[in-house]
DNA sequence: CTGAAAGCGCTAACAA
DNA sequence: TTGTTAGCGCTTTCAG
């Protein structure tokens, strides 16, 4: 790290301005108890010297910290990139900086990253990756985060986690139900579901939504093939191949996120299968490019950027006795990738 | 920030282990001068107490910060998200954490973010956003970064910046030349260029490549309309409209990044213009979705993830007397959005 | 091999 | 209104 020899310190500013470091500190922090004239002078001197307070010293001394942590599965995934964008903007607005870590969809890595963030004494931690259906997988993370909160740390999660913290809850079940209902309304009955790992609550919840919509039409989940693969483009790609091999008569494919849906469309196109003429395709999330695919993708919009904003805003609020919970909205976006079931 | 009362400190570990804090520190840091037996015991006690060193105290005392900074224009842009992914992975591999800031394509904001990162005493700073053609716009940033480097900080930039630092240089000019040559080879002569803000070096360099390729065919930049709009999907969208209004006879459109190209394709599709039948479209970057658009996008691949990896790796190496420079490769990826010029 | 003690730069009582 | 001073938790000489 920088051998801070030579980086101007508060003491240097104080000396140059001819005041004590206490006065300098107050002036720079804009705190009470300094004559405006002196304060202005100090600020000017500091500016002239290019003084920037050492965040570590400030934090250690009990001043406000200034960083928050964000854990995503993978920032290259547009879903998380959009959430991150929201988090970063809210943070910047409040003079905070964001540390981003990858959990790589692995609970052990997630735990490790949580520990890292805690070591950095971030003011708050936002866990944006999906939760896990098995509580044991997050038990240790929960213990660590609970301890963190007991010492004054703030935590917010996005999604359904087995973590004791405030939460932003995407309408996953409603989203799953919405696409399914849409397809059913179009007359589809032979529907295939491409799902991510069953261990993710996001996947489980969306499937629950699918089931609910099916039941409203007198069907059950047993009537539709559900394939669990990676929650990525490749998962959608490979899954389509397998699903169609086993069920060549499917007329619609639901991908439980847009990344998978993109893989589905790609696979279908390379096979020359008309969409939606022969098979309709729908996703969930409404990532930015969904509208630009061809055919444009029917999906359910989840407000990712806003979810990031909400999560950090929530985390930064004074804690309440009870955990807060905030549901997102969702909106079915019908585009060109879905159409009536072929006769 | 966490009222660290109750978060175990080194002193607590030392007390519990029955040693001095100096010994505890050495043991935990794996430093010389402690009997292996004692060291092991201390580590065990620390683990048992869930002890995690306070990064701020450690940094203040002269240890390494273990965080690096990354400045991108906007993380929601896939180009930067992919770079960030590379940076984060390399960082994680070395036990470092990454602070990400948005510069929003504004030099003043960039300067502010650089200051912020320096205040955080990050070990290194990676500036991933494009540079500016006007040196004055980055003069202050350069001064600040130079001072940072003089105090031991490390800096690497991606792109052509007026900043004194190691640099990863995307083959922007070659990329611009490659798409242009490709289109010319297909017989196109009435080519329109959709460019981002002229003030960005990325844009300037890619245009220079376009010019070079044109000249190789006995043409010049004056023979093709160049429109400067936003370096985003919307820029491509709006730009297409304007360019076609003024030059209805164009047979090919070069967008200087894929985000714009996506906007171009979208606009063309909504107008019912056949691509590439009537107009060919090409981009630059090869973001992940380029292959999944319809028609799939002809573009030039720049290894974004790898660029992120290279930049941080470079920044983390011991500094050399001369600035390092590393060029990326590039590869023309011909897909379905380009075809022979209509007769 | 181990411990005591002096800071790192800043904030926040407490004095003046 | 301003200055003095005691830490914040850790690393690192310097003694023992």
Alpha-carbon distances of A327 from A287, A301, B241, B270, rounded to whole Å: 19, 14, 39, 35
Residue of chain B nearest A118, judged by CA positions: B52
Does B116 contact chain A (CB < 8 Å)?
yes
Q: How many angstroms separate the most distant Cα atoms in chain A?
A: 87
The residue written with tokens 């540390």 in the block is: A99
CA distance B94 to chain A (A): 12
Contact A119 B84 (CB under 8 A): no
Residue of chain B whose Cα is closest to the Cα of A316: B1
- The pair phi, psi for residue B40, each rounded to 5°, is -60, -45
CA gap B278, B270 in Å, rounded: 14
- For residue B209, what are the CA distances in angstroms to B7, B175, B203? 57, 7, 10
- DSSP element (H, E) containing A327: strand A325-327
Partner residue facing B76 (CB), from A62, A81, A99: A81
- DSSP character at residue A132: B
Q: Which of A290, A280, A298 is nearest to B293 (CA)?
A: A290
Q: Is the CB of A1 under 7 A from strand C?
A: no
Whether B60-169+306-327 and B172-303 share one fold: the answer is: yes
Mean local confidence (pLDDT), A2-25: 78
pLDDT band at A63 (very low <50, low <70, confident <90, very high): low
pLDDT per residue as tens digits for the range B167-178: 999 999 999 999
- The predicted pLDDT at position A7 comes to 75
What pLDDT, on a 0 to 100 scale, did the predictor assign at position A31?
78
State the best of B55, B270, B303 to mutate against chain A, taking most chain A CBs within 10 Å.
B55
pLDDT of residue A196: 96
A104 and chain B in contact, CB less than 8 A: no
Between B65 and A112, name the one with better pLDDT. A112
Examine the pLDDT at A212 and tell me if it is beyond 50: yes
pLDDT, position A51: 83
- Provide the CA B23 to C1' D14 distance, Å, integer: 15
Answer whether A248 touches B (CB < 8 Å).
no
**Which of B328, B326, B329, B330 has its CA nearest to residue B167?**
B326
> Which of A81-90, A139-148, B88-97 is modeled with the greatest confidence?
A81-90
Question: Can you tell me the distance from the alpha carbon of B134 to that of B200, in angstroms, rounded to the nearest whole number?
Answer: 9
Residue of A nearest to B293 (CA): A293
What fold, for A60-169+306-327? Rossmann fold (3.40.50)
Confidence class for position B246, pLDDT limits 50, 70, 90: very high
Residue A197 pLDDT exceeds 50: yes
Supply φ then ψ for residue B52, to 5 degrees. Answer: -135, 125
- Does residue A153 sit at the B interface (CB-CB below 8 Å)? yes
CA of B122 to C1' of D9 (A): 19
Question: Which nucleotide comes closest to B119 if you measure CA to C1'?
Answer: C9
CB contact under 8 A, B100 and A120: no
Distance CA B291, CA A227 (A): 24
Give B121's pLDDT tier (boundaries 50, 70, 90). confident
Of A15, A12, A47, give the one whose Cα is nearest residue A28: A47
Q: Which helix (H) or strand (E) holds A126?
A: strand A124-127
Which are the contacts of A33, defined by CB distance < 8 A and separation ≥ 6? A26
The distance (Å) linking the CA of A40 with the C1' of D2 is 15
Burial environment of residue B37 by CB neighbours within 10 A (0 to 12, 13 to 18, 19 or more) = exposed
Interface of A with B in 294-323 (CB under 8 A): 294-295, 305
A291 touching B (Cβ < 8 Å): yes
Q: What is this structure's pTM?
A: 0.91
Q: Is the peptide bond preceding residue B194 cis, with omega within 30 degrees of 0? A: no
Residue B154 and residue B157: Cα distance in Å, rounded? 10
Lowest mean pLDDT among A213-222, A275-284, B74-83, B88-97: B88-97
Query: Which segment of A108-112, A200-204, A291-295, B27-31 scores lowest on mean pLDDT?
Result: B27-31
Option in B55, B92, B266 nearest A120 (CB): B55
B61 touches strand C (CB under 7 A): yes
CA of A220 and C1' of D12: distance in angstroms?
68
Q: What are phi and psi of B59, to 5 degrees?
A: -65, -45
d(CA B152, C1' D11) / Å: 18
Asked if B293 lies within 8 A of A291 by C-beta distance, the reply is no
Name the nearest CA neighbour of A256 among A285, A225, A280. A285
**Do A75 and B63 count as a contact with CB atoms less than 8 A apart?**
no
CA of B63 to C1' of D7 (A): 20
Q: How confident is the model at residue B6 (pLDDT cuts 50, 70, 90)?
A: low
B224 touches strand C (CB under 7 A): no
Burial label, B337 (beta-carbon count in 10 A; 0-12, 13-18, 19+): buried
Residue spans of the domains in chain A: they are 1-51, 60-169+306-327, 172-303
Give A74's pLDDT tier (boundaries 50, 70, 90).
very high
Footprint of strand D on the protein (CB under 7 A): A 18-23, 26, 32-35, 38-39, 57, 60-62; B 4-5, 7, 9-11, 21-22, 25-26, 28-29, 31, 53-54, 57-58, 60-63
Nearest nucleotide to B23, CA against C1' atoms: C2
Q: What is the mean pLDDT of residues A193-198?
A: 97
- Round to whole Å and give the CA distance between A273 and A244: 11
Which of the residue ranges A31-45, A223-237, B60-74 has the most confident prediction, judged by mean pLDDT?
A223-237
Cα gap A287→A261, rounded to integer Å: 11
Instruction: Inform me whether the pLDDT recorded for A298 exceeds 90.
Output: yes
Q: At residue A4, does pLDDT exceed 60?
A: no
Q: Are residues B74 and A85, on separate chains, in Cβ contact within 8 Å? A: yes
A47-61, A152-166, B213-227: segment of lowest average pLDDT: A47-61
- Nearest-neighbour CA in chain B from A38: distance (Å): 24
Provide mean pLDDT across the span A6-12. 81
Q: Report whether pLDDT(A198) > 60.
A: yes
Q: Give the CATH H-level superfamily of domain B172-303.
A: Response regulator (3.40.50.2300)
Q: Which of A201-205, B24-28, B159-163 has the lowest mean pLDDT?
A: B24-28
Stretch among A185-189, B53-57, B105-109 having the lowest mean pLDDT: B53-57
Query: Which chain A residues in 177-206 lie under 8 Å from chain B, judged by CB atoms?
Result: none
Q: Using the CA of B35, which nucleotide's C1' is the nearest one? A: C1
Over residues B160-164, the mean pLDDT reads: 95
Q: How far is the CA of B100 from the C1' of C9 (A)?
A: 25
Q: To 5 degrees, how large is the angle CA B108–CA A78–CA A169? A: 105
B126 close contact with A: CB closer than 8 A: no
* Closest to B103 measured CA to CA, from B129, B121, B79: B129
pLDDT reported for residue B152: 81
Q: Take residue B83 and report the two structure tokens written for it.
A: 């770079």
Residue nearest to nucleotide C3 (CA to C1'): B20
Q: Does A108 touch chain B (CB under 8 A)?
A: no
Q: Is A89 on the interface with B (CB under 8 A)?
A: yes
Q: Which bases of strand C have any atom within 7 Å of the beta carbon of a protein residue? A: 1-5, 7-13
Calculate helix-pair angle for B10-17, B21-29, nearest 10 degrees.
100
Which alpha helices (H) appear in chain B, and where do they start and end?
10-17, 21-29, 36-49, 55-60, 78-93, 107-119, 135-150, 172-185, 201-216, 233-246, 258-271, 304-316
Contact between residue A337 and residue A281 where contact means Cβ atoms under 8 Å apart: yes
Do residues A338 and A182 touch, judged by C-beta distance below 8 A?
yes
* Mean pLDDT along residues A40-46: 88
* Contact partners, residue A24, CB within 8 Å, separation at least 6: A10, A13, A14, A17, A42, A46
- Topology of domain A1-51 in CATH is 434 Repressor (Amino-terminal Domain) (1.10.260)
Which of A99, A265, A293 is closest, CB to CB, to B99? A99
Residue A33 φ/ψ region, left for φ over 0, alpha for ψ in the -120 to 50 degree band, beta for the rest: left
As a whole number of Å, the end-to-end CA separation of chain B is 68
Q: What is the pLDDT of residue B50?
A: 77
With bands split at pLDDT 50, 70 and 90, how would you rate the model's confidence at A29?
Answer: confident
Residue B277 has pLDDT above 50, yes or no: yes
Q: Write the CB contacts of B323 (distance below 8 Å, at least 6 apart in sequence).
A: B164, B165, B166, B167
Q: Nearest CB to B89: which of A97, A102, A115? A: A102
% of chain B surpassing 70 pLDDT: 98
- The alpha carbon of A61 is separated from its chain's Cα centroid by a whole number of angstroms, namely 32
pLDDT of B3 above 50: no
From B56, B89, B233, residue closest to A121, measured CB to CB: B56
The C-alpha atoms of residue B131 and residue B138 are separated, in whole angstroms, by 8
Mean pLDDT, rounded, for B34-42: 88
Cα–Cα distance for residue pair B144/B115, rounded to 1 Å: 7
């Amino acid at each position: 790290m920088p051998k801070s020899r030579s980086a101007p310190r508060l003491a240097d500013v104080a000396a140059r301005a001819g005041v004590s470091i206490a006065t300098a500190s107050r002036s720079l922090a804009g705190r009470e108890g300094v004559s405006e004239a002196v304060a202005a002078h100090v600020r000017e001197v500091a500016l002239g010297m290019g003084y920037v307070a050492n965040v570590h010293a400030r934090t250690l001394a009990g001043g406000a910290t200034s960083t928050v942590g964000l854990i995503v599965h993978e920032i290259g995934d547009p879903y998380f990139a959009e959430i991150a964008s929201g988090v970063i903007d809210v943070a910047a607005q409040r003079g905070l900086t964001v540390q981003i870590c990858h959990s790589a969809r692995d609970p052990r890595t997630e735990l490790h990253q949580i520990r890292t963030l805690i070591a950095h004494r971030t003011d708050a931690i936002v866990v944006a990756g999906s939760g896990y259906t098995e509580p044991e997988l997050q038990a240790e993370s929960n213990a660590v985060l609970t301890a963190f909160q007991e010492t004054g740390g703030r935590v917010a999660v996005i999604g359904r986690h087995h973590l004791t913290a405030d939460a932003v809850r995407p309408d996953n079940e409603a989203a799953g139900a919405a696409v399914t209902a849409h397809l059913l309304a179009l007359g589809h009955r032979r529907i295939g579901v491409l799902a991510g790992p069953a261990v993710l609550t996001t996947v489980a919840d969306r499937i629950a939504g699918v089931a609910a919509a099916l039941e409203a039409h007198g069907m059950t989940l047993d009537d539709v093939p559900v394939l669990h693969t990676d929650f990525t483009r490749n998962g959608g790609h490979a899954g389509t191949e397998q699903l169609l091999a086993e069920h060549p008569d499917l007329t619609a494919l639901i991908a439980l996120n847009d990344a998978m849906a993109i893989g589905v469309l790609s696979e279908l196109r390379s096979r020359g299968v008309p969409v939606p003429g022969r098979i309709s395709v729908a996703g969930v999330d409404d990532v930015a490019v969904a509208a630009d695919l061809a055919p444009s993708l029917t999906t359910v919009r989840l407000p990712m950027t806003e979810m990031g904003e909400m999560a950090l805003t929530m985390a930064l609020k004074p804690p309440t006795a009870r955990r807060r919970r905030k549901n997102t909205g969702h909106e079915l976006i019908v585009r060109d990738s879905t159409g009536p079931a072929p006769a």
